[in-house]
Amino acid sequence: MTFRGTLLFAGGVLASLGLGWIAFPHAIYTSRQQPVEFSHKIHTGSAGMQCEDCHALREDGSYVGIPPLEQCAGCHTEPTGQTAAEKNFIEKYVTPNREPPWLVNARQPENVWFSHTPHVRLAKLTCARCHGDQGTLDKPRVYQEDRISGYSRDIWGKPVANVKGPTQTGMKMDDCIECHRAAGLEHSCLDCHK
């Protein structure tokens, strides 16, 4: 093989890797917008709310889920601000009493049992530790779903090149293991996988 041939081969390999690096996430993940342009920033900022005001825990420590429409309607039967997003939310969901079809970034696989209680109440972890900077976002992140598994990109697999980006928030199994090991906690697989 000549030097020119080697150079062309190396260039082709690098171009293929680069293209795959960019194209693969677009091929495996589908992206969708949330049904409502919800601002955590307004609620946690000027409204002075805390995560727990809307995102409650059951007695057993499991997460209740996204707040039901009736909880939002307590404040939003009439617009409290001037945004088009809030007016749209009231017209499209509150007035007809229709739950928004939220896309859940944190939905775990069926074989995973996770309790917030030991993490939030005992270990005193902040919500941002695992869920990222949700409380500072002015609009929801684009929901990315793995076309194969059907789960959110937030909980599925390592990011490309193992470099965490803005959507890599700490809800992957590797993140849990890393945090537990740093805290000196080793558990059985059956503690989380049922």
Q: Please state whether 150 falls in left (phi above 0), alpha (psi between -120 and 50) or beta.
A: left
How big is the CA angle at 123 (ends 122 and 128), to the nearest 5 degrees?
120
Q: How many CB atoms lie within 10 A of CB 192?
A: 17
What values do phi and psi take at 16, rounded to 5? Answer: -65, -45
Give the per-residue pLDDT at 161: 55
User: Domain extents for the chain?
Assistant: 103-194
DSSP string of 134-163, one letter each residue = GGG-SSPPPEEEETTT-SBGGGSSPPGGG-
163-186 burial, b if ≥16 CB within 10 A, otherwise e?
Answer: eeeebbbbbbbebbeebeeeeeee
Q: How many CB atoms lie within 10 A of CB 145?
A: 20
Give the per-residue pLDDT at 24: 80
In the predicted model, residues of the chain with pLDDT beneath 50 are 167
pTM score, two decimals?
0.75
Cβ–Cβ under 8 Å, residues 115 and 60: yes
Give the per-residue pLDDT at 36: 93
Q: How many CB atoms lie within 10 A of CB 81?
A: 12
Instruction: Quote the CA–CA distance of 143 and 14 in Å, as a whole number.
Output: 30
Give the per-residue pLDDT at 93: 96
How big is the CA angle at 150 (ends 28 and 19), to the nearest 5 degrees?
5
